[in-house]
Amino acid sequence: MKHILEAFNNKRVLVVGDVMIDAYYFGRVERISPEAPVPIVSVEKKENRLGGAANVAMNLISLGARPVMCTVIGKDQEGDEMLELLKKQGIDTRGVIRSANRITTVKTRVISQQTQMLRIDHELISPIDTDDAQQLINALTVQLKEADVLIFQDYDKGVLTRENIKEITRAAKQAGVSVVVDPKKRNFNHFEGAYLFKPNLKELRDGLKLDLDPDNQDEFEKIISGFMRSMQISNMMITMSERGVMITDGKTFDYIPAHIRKIADVSGAGDTVISVAALCVANGWNNRKVAEYSNLAGGLVCEEVGVVPIDKQKLAEEIDQLKLA
């Protein structure tokens, strides 16, 4: 008998947003520098991994889907490495624009004995210019013809702007493609017309500039409903860590409790949640199922150390165990 998650297979997902390389230097500290009172890390291994919106694409690959990466990177060596990493993972790069006006974001971490000693960010976070934005929109519009769903994955690094979000959303609606959003602070109020809007509780508070308390349920739900009406958002899902997940169509509010986990690392959990949610939306599943499956998936990746994509088999087993299929 086919498992329900097989419905994820070959779904074509456009992932639009900021990508980055997560670079790691692993080594050992055995002495202090004679030049300054800082440790010397003797590097034993270097590793480049896909980060940002590219990690969402990695999760989608793990779930059996076919992501198309839509972003703007630099015409630099790091951009070459980014394309190589994407292609190595089987991620479609036809929506990737190379710009002479940008640099490719790289976050470099120096790690010794499982401890992060230093992080160096090489990035440009100003909004992309109109030429780069138009190239992105043109490339993306071509891909919309075959898309099942579109994810806006924002990290406030400049790829997404108020103007291109509006144009892309309009193009997606014309193509009959649902828009799913994982927002950050800068563009929080710019995703009008989204089908599913998924902030975490901190992002919601920052975006609305309100200290919302889920325990004050009436006020919490009233503010969310008002925001959804003003933004013409069809559904909203809020991830709340140990509180679990809340999903709503603005009228009915469904609270899904968190499952008890041995939490090792919460890094990348949001990327997993939005990936599973988008594939549920692509299949036309109801809000309850969207929230339950996303909640499970986010918890599962938190049991792993580091940013890792979801294990589809483990997710399927948990769904069966909890009789959620």
* Residues 154 and 17 sit within 8 Å (Cβ to Cβ): yes
Place of tokens 């590097």: 43
Q: How far apart are CA 63 and CA 9, in angstroms?
A: 7
Per the DSSP assignment, residues forming a β-bridge with 151 are 15, 180
Q: How far apart are CA 18 and CA 271, in angstroms?
A: 12
Burial of 314 by CB count in 10 Å (0-12 exposed, 13-18 middle, 19+ buried)?
A: middle
Residue 271 annotated as catalytic = yes
Q: Spell out the residues 6+ positions from residue 137 whose beta carbon is closer than 8 angstroms to its own.
A: 164, 167, 168, 171
* Residues 22 and 109 sit within 8 Å (Cβ to Cβ): yes
Burial of 211 by CB count in 10 Å (0-12 exposed, 13-18 middle, 19+ buried)?
A: exposed
* Residues 204 and 212 sit within 8 Å (Cβ to Cβ): yes
Angle value at C-alpha 108, between 102 and 111, nearest 5 degrees: 175
Query: For 72-102, b where at least 16 C-beta lie within 10 A, e where not — what string?
Result: bbbebebbebbbebbeebebbbebbbbbeeb
Tokens standing for residue 150: 């579109």
Exactly one of 18, 132, 148, 271 is catalytic; name it: 271
Enumerate the active-site residues. Answer: 271
